[in-house]
Amino acid sequence: MTWLWRLPRPKLLAYSQRRPYTGLFGRYVVQPAVGCGAFILRDGHLLLIRRVKAPEAGCWGLPGGKVDPFETVAQAAMREVREEVGLELEAGPLLCVVDQIDRSAGTHWIAPVYRVTTVQGEPRLCEPHKHNGLGWFALDALPQPLTLATQVAVQAYHAQQA
């Protein structure tokens, strides 16, 4: 066991930088948050929405969001898609898990992304204060810039198809 008050200051700083979850000495506690995403394909086209707010404002991304307490990740993905674009769907197989770590912002998101092929309804922007664009895009002609989660999910999809 390391007694922090016995460490010389340089070693204490090095120790605290290796341990980002410590609340000692005024450091804030960073807990990973759980998000989710839906990789919705229809006739070879991917559904994307453009974010209005930070993080990644102006980027195109997959519908998705934060997992609420006592909700499975698959349930959260279906709920978020319904809230954001008004579609009813069933989460399919897990496509990938995105780890998005931003030390400078003090955030860490873990976001499973589900592949969806069965969709009921037509998408529409249901939260214009969060998103200002929506469209189906061919996988070889995706708009730019893309969110990190979308980039990882597209790479995972191509890797599975190879």
Domain with 99 in it: what CATH number? 3.90.79.10
- How many domains would you assign to the chain? 1
**Is 1 within the bounds of a domain?**
no
3-state secondary structure the chain: CCCHHHCCHHHHHHHHHHCCCCCHHHCCCCCCEEEEEEEEEECCEEEEEEECCCCCCCCEECCEEECCCCCCHHHHHHHHHHHHHCCEECCCCEEEEEEEEECCCCEEEEEEEEEECCEECCCCCCCCCCEEEEEEEECCCCCCCECHHHHHHHHHHHHHHC
**Is 12 within the bounds of a domain?**
no
pLDDT in tens, the chain (162 residues): 444 445 455 554 444 455 555 555 555 567 899 999 999 999 999 999 999 998 899 999 999 999 999 999 999 999 999 999 999 998 899 999 999 998 888 889 999 999 997 888 899 999 999 999 999 999 999 999 999 999 999 999 999 998
> What is residue 20's predicted lDDT score, i.e. its pLDDT?
52
